Structure 1
Amino acid sequence: MQEQGTAPFVDVPADVLARISHKRRVPVVVTVNGHTFRTTIAPMGGMLCLGFNKGNAAGAGIAAGDRIDVVMALDTQPRTIDVPAELAAALDADPRAKAAFDALSYSHRREWADHVREAKKPETRERRAGKAVVALREG
């Protein structure tokens, strides 16, 4: 396992990726040390990388420099987002922002949803949802 900045990752050999898909950005289901999660293999700095966010690295009990066994398979299931109620209501009230949100990649939709969901106070979630709608509408 390697690390660039604070992001641990595994360099996926091209021949391994070729057994799964012919694309360079490939959605996969990964299991490490019994911890299973969904992610995407993506090109980074001339390599094909399988990245681990902090939660998945902690869940698998791994850190940069560790030697790990990775089991992965092509992820063919649709990726859906649990949109917080505040964001869903704000998007429903603004068709243009909703269309922009729906056109985003899974990871960008998840980031907007997480940004609203992570607020502790209801009024903060409402404010964040409102700002998200403005940003999405204005592109």
Structure 2
Amino acid sequence: MPDTTRSRFKAKLLRPKKSDDGAPWAFVVLPKDASAKLPRRGRTTVAGSINGHGFQATLEPDGQLSHWLRLEQALLAHAGVNVGEVATLEIAALADEPDPEAPSDLLEALAGAPEAGAVWEETTNIARLDWIHWITSAKQAKTRAKRVADACDMLASGKRRVCCFDPSGYYSKAFRAPEVAE
């Protein structure tokens, strides 16, 4: 059976205006047709290659019903490509979304709330990914702490999905690709 999520395209490697950790990296905004083949508009893990060099990464939603991909400097060096150049990329969604790494503040809260922890363990990886994205997308520490507490309350009450959360960012404009450095 052919992989209907597979896409091959050329894209210019862009430098972000701001780097959260100071380390150099690049990004690519996926063409709309490549993004449309993916199983979801939210975070999606893909296996891919850049100029023939393989990687696995999680695509982020761009708030425009597409995705963007962060490319670390080590991968760029391995692929022999630099920011500003055009590279050939190939991506395909993984058949099974891997278990996401939960942030430590959420894990601590779940450890202190056994009912919530039990429901967390029973949820799908995609649902966990949405919970994590909702929590980590908070811009302020106070908002993040409230979301962690609210997540525990919702999970303890049996909710397996974040209510009122748009994982694509399209309706809430919560997510977008980085701004391009000039």
The TM-score by the shorter chain falls in which range?
Answer: 0.5 to 0.7
CA distance in 2, matches of 1:108, 1:125: 18
Deviations along 1:98-121, whole A, 9 cap, x unmatched?
A: 111111111111111121112232
**Deviation, structure 1 residue 87:** 1.2
Aligned to 2:36, which of 1, 5, 9? Answer: 9
Q: Is the 8 A contact 1:38 1:75 kept in 2?
A: no
Match status 1:55 vs 2:74: no
Change (3 A) 1:69 1:137: same
Number of equivalences: 100
2-structure distance, mates of 1:86, 1:118:
14
1:74 shift after superposition: 6.7
In structure 2, the residue corresponding to 1:108 is in which secondary structure? helix
Q: Normalising to structure 2: TM-score of the pair? A: 0.42
CA contact (8 A) 2:46 2:57 kept: yes
Segments of structure 2 that go 5 or more residues without pairing to the other structure are: 1-6, 8-30, 39-44, 59-64, 72-87, 159-182
Output the CA distance in 1 between the equivalents of 2:137 and 2:153.
Answer: 19
- The alpha carbon displacement at 1:125 in A equals 1.2
Matched, 1:79 2:92: no
| Of 25, 31, 34, the match for 2:48 | 31
Alpha-carbon deviation of 1:135? Answer: 1.1
The amino acid of 1:55's aligned partner reads: W
DSSP-derived class of the 1:37 partner:
strand
State the AA in 1 paired with 2:67: K
Kindly indicate whether the alpha-carbon contact (under 8 Å) linking 2:32 and 2:66 is maintained by their aligned counterparts in 1: no
Indicate the residue corresponding to 2:125 in structure 1: 106
Higher helix residue share: 1
Q: CA RMSD in A?
A: 3.8
Residue 32 and residue 103 in structure 1: after superposition, are their counterparts in 2 closer, same or farther (change >3 A)? same
**Relative to 1, partners in 2 of residues 1:73 and 1:129: Cα closer, same or farther, differing over 3 Å?**
closer
Given residue 35 of structure 2, which amino acid in structure 1 is its aligned partner? P
User: Residue type matched to 2:36 in 1?
Assistant: F
Deviation at 1:81, TM superposition (A): 2.1
Give the equivalent residue in structure 2 for 1:91.
Answer: 110
Matched with 2:3 is none
Q: Report if the CA contact (8 A) 1:86-1:125 is conserved.
A: no
Aligned identity (percent) is 22
Letter in 2 for 1:123: K
Letter paired with 1:31: G
TM-score, normalised to structure 1, is 0.52
